[in-house]
Amino acid sequence: MTRIIADISISLDGFVTGPDPGPDSGLGSGGGALHAWAFSDDPDDRRVLREATARSGAVVLGRRLFDVVDGPNGWDDNVGYGAGEAGKPAFVVVTSSPPEAVRLTGLDWTFVTTGLPDAVTAAREHAEAASSESGKDLDVVLMGGGATIGSALDAGLVDTLTLHLAPLVLGTGTPLFTGAAPRTLVQRGVIPTSTATHLTYDVLR
């Protein structure tokens, strides 16, 4: 069964970037430490990253995050989706208008201009097709940014929320939760490492 999984790294005070994020610094000032776990040699960190990347049948991201990963300082052949795993699922971008050109032409990009629910639907179709082809269940992953995941949670589109809680207090930046409607979560997994606490929740609708 294809699940919709929101997966993001977050600070102890609830921020998914540091202050002043932009195309040349997608995680903002000090925000790179949020993803230290993804480049860790800890075997549990490596397993979390490897298993999540392997289960990704399609990935949804917002336009601002696309501009970062497709920008000149973004992903390359060595570091991409899944950090060093550099996975290549289908990517679905929520945007008001598609870009004129794409740098990462070796990846499968779909640009959806009709809103987040339609983007999730398109990603589910990609993931289900990939599941049929591979013979194993694959998921849709909402990788960010924070506004995209927050909107998906508000809209009731998310089945599972995975947070990689970094031992870091940023003080300011991009918050994940912004006072939206309450959501009930059921804790399904906790994996502590030296660089993060990996938390998995089912989201009750």
Low-confidence ranges of the chain (pLDDT < 70): none
Q: Are strands 184-192 and 197-204 parallel, antiparallel or unpaired?
A: antiparallel
pTM here is: 0.94
Q: Assess if residue 199 is contained within a domain.
A: no
Q: What is the enclosing helix (H) or strand (E) of 152?
A: helix 146-154
Residue at 200 is within a domain:
no
Beta carbons within 8 Å of 25's beta carbon, 6+ residues apart: 31
- Give the chain's domain count: 1
In a domain? residue 125:
yes
Determine the pLDDT at residue 9.
98
CATH code for the domain of 114: 3.40.430.10
Pairing of strands 15-17, 174-175: antiparallel
Taking CA 195 as the corner, what is the angle to CA 193 and CA 200, rounded to the nearest 5 degrees?
60
Is the residue at 122 inside a domain?
Answer: yes
Query: How many other C-beta atoms lie within 10 A of the C-beta of residue 131?
Result: 18
Tell me if 138 is assigned to some domain. yes
Q: How far is CA 27 from CA 24, 56, 58, 68, 109, in A?
A: 9, 22, 22, 9, 22
Classify residue 20: in a domain, yes or no: no
Which amino acid is residue 126, in one-letter code? H
Domain span holding position 139: 4-13+28-75+86-184
The pLDDT of residue 24: 77
User: ∠147-148-152 over CA atoms, to 5°?
Assistant: 115
Task: Look at residue 81 in the predicted model and tell me its pLDDT.
Answer: 95
144 found inside a domain: yes
In a domain, 46, yes or no: yes
Select from 20, 9, 7 the least CA-distant residue to 61: 7
CA angle 65, 72, 105 (to 5 degrees): 80
